[in-house]
Amino acid sequence: MKKETIIVCDHIHKSGFDILNNSEDINIVDASDMDKAKLLDILGEASVAITRSSTTIDEKFLNSATNMKAIVRAGVGVDNVDIDGCSKLGIIVMNVPTANTIAATELTMTHILSCARKMPFAHNQLKIDKIWKREDWYGTELYGKKLGIIGFGNIGSKVGLRAKSFEMDIVTYDPYIDPTKATNHDIAWTKNFDDILSCDIISIHTPKNSETIGMIGQKEIDKMKDGVVLINCARGGLYDEVALYNNIKSGKISIAGIDVFDKEPATHSKLLELDNIIVTAHLGANTVESQYNIATQAATNAISAIKGIGYPHALNLPIDESKIPPFVKPYMELTQKIAFLISQLDKSQIRSIKLEACGDIDNYLDSLITFAIVGALSNASSNEKLNYVNAKFIAKEKNIQISTKKVPNNTAYKNKINIRITTNTDTNAISGTVFAENMHRIIDINGYEMDIEPSGRMLFVQNSDVPGVVGEIGKILGDQNINISDFRLGRHKDKALALILVDSDIDRKTIEKITDIKPAKNVCFVKI
Q: How many CB atoms lie within 10 A of CB 353?
A: 24
Q: Are 411 and 373 in contact (CB under 8 A)?
A: no
Active-site residue (options: 13, 73, 205, 282)? 282
Helix or strand run (H / E) with residue 277: strand 277-279
Q: How far apart are CA 487 and CA 21, in angstroms?
A: 27
Active-site residue (options: 59, 141, 167, 264)? 264
What 3-state class would DSSP assign to 159? helix
User: CA–CA distance from 528 to each of 112, 156, 178, 307 (Å)?
Assistant: 43, 33, 33, 9
264 tagged catalytic: yes
User: CA–CA distance from 209 to each of 6, 62, 215, 237 (Å)?
Assistant: 29, 22, 10, 10
Q: How far apart are CA 375 and CA 341, in angstroms?
A: 8
> For the purposes of burial, counting CB atoms within 10 Å of the CB of 374, is it exposed (0-12), middle (13-18) or buried (19 or more)?
buried
β-partners of residue 173 are 150
Q: Which residues of 257-293 are buried (b: 16+ CB within 10 A; e: fewer)?
A: bbbbbbeeebeebebeebeebbbbebbbbebeebbbb
Q: How far apart are CA 399 and CA 136, in angstroms?
A: 78
At residue 450, what is the residue type? M
Q: How far apart are CA 408 and CA 386, in angstroms?
A: 33
What 3-state class would DSSP assign to 455? coil
Phi/psi of residue 343, nearest 5 degrees: -65, -20
Q: How far apart are CA 224 and CA 6, in angstroms?
A: 49
123 tagged catalytic: no
282 tagged catalytic: yes
Q: How many CB atoms lie within 10 A of CB 247?
A: 21
Active-site residue (options: 52, 111, 205, 235)? 235
Q: How many CB atoms lie within 10 A of CB 472?
A: 18
Q: How far apart are CA 61 and CA 75, in angstroms?
A: 19
Catalytic site positions: 235, 264, 282
